[in-house]
Chain A
Amino acid sequence: MKQLKHDWNWLEDYLSVHEAVIGRFQQYMITSNSYSHKWFNSEYLELSISFTLRTHQGALVNVSIMKDVEVKSLVPSKGKKTGRRRARTEAYTYVAYRSGQGCLLRYCSPHDRLFDKSSDHHEFHHKHDFTSGQEIITRTGDNWPHVDDFLSEVMSRL
């Protein structure tokens, strides 16, 4: 069976992969940081991190990543109080921006129609790209980026 790009993972693997990705970009960070974790109920964990990168072209770009992570416990095995937990990203916002220039890129998970009546992009994973000076919105579908993909795009494009 084909593995989905954003499938369930063990919680410990999910967390350590996220830390490892940040570690890989540490050499480009002007301001170092690590993820903040906040449980907002027993099945949802918020991950957030902000930092500044120096891109391959020398630009200083601020990055903000927020994720809501769905966490499910398996039935505890015999003698255990709690079951092992699985995790997957449920919602996210990735933003790259420059001070004084505003947003360059923003990736969003699907959301309710907020105000834009002329577009249905909100129903899908999508990307707001402001780098041309005009906002271009594209649907990313199930191929929406991992944090690694997003940071690589920031490093190479901006």
Chain B
Amino acid sequence: MDTKLNRMNEEQVSLLDQVTADQPFAGGDSAESVAQFKAELASLALSLGVTADQLLRTAETSSDYREEYSKALMLSRRIARFSK
């Protein structure tokens, strides 16, 4: 048995259980994931009244901050990663 595992303290076990139990896997293959991320990006863009491309352009180049910009940047990375 891994000795490190034996050293896991109660807080770590609790945190791990919480992270695993509270958010069950969304599942899906890469194609489904990409479709989902694209839909999320489109929805974010729509909420701001712009296209997905316009949202990404602004997120990358603007000095303004909006939570949607950070989300859009992360979604664009995921789309690229899971499209490969």
Contacts of B25 in A (CB 8 A): 39, 41-42
Contact between B19 and A97 (Cβ–Cβ < 8 Å)?
A: no
Q: Tell yes or no: B23 within 8 A of A by CB.
A: yes
A69-107 to B contact mask, C-beta < 8 Å, 1/0: 000000001000000100000110101010000110000
Cβ proximity bits B61-84 to A, threshold 8 Å, 1 near / 0 not:
111110100110110111011000
Total number of residue pairs linking A and B with CB closer than 8 Å: 96
A38 contacts B4, C-beta separation under 8 Å: no
Residue B12, interface by CB 8 Å: yes
B80, closest chain A residue (CB): A112
Which applies to chain B's interface (DSSP): helix, strand, loop or mixed? helix
Distance from A64 Cβ to chain B, minimum over Cβ atoms (Å): 6
Task: Report B-chain residues with C-beta under 8 Å of the C-beta of A116.
Answer: 60-61
Find out whether the CB atom of A15 lies under 8 angstroms from the CB atom of B16. Answer: yes
Q: How far is the CB of A24 from chain B (nearest CB, A)?
A: 15
Query: Do the beta carbons of B11 and A16 come within 8 Å of each other?
Result: yes
Chain B: residues with Cβ within 8 Å of the partner, total of 40
Q: When the two chains form their complex, are residues B1 and A77 in contact, meaning their CB atoms are under 8 A apart?
A: yes
> Considering the chains assembled together, what is the distance between the CA atoms of A42 and B33 in angstroms?
11
Q: Which residues from A are CB-within-8-Å of B11? A: 16
Interface residues on A, range: 35 or more
One of A5-13, A52-60, A138-146, A149-157 at the interface: A5-13
A39 touches B60 (CB 8 A): no
Chain A residues whose C-beta falls within 8 Å of the C-beta of B18 in the assembled complex: 37
Binding site for A on B (CB under 8 A): 1-2, 4-5, 8, 11-13, 15-16, 18-19, 22-28, 33, 36, 56-57, 59-65, 67, 70-71, 73-74, 76-78, 80-81
- Given A12-B16, A114-B57, A115-B56, decide whether A103 and B65 contact each other with a Cβ distance below 8 A: yes
Interchain CB contact (< 8 A) of A39 among B23, B70, B71: B23
| Cβ–Cβ contact B63 & A64, under 8 A | no
Residues of A near B16 (CB, < 8 A) are 11-12, 15
Across the interface, do A115 and B57 meet the contact criterion of CB distance under 8 Å? yes
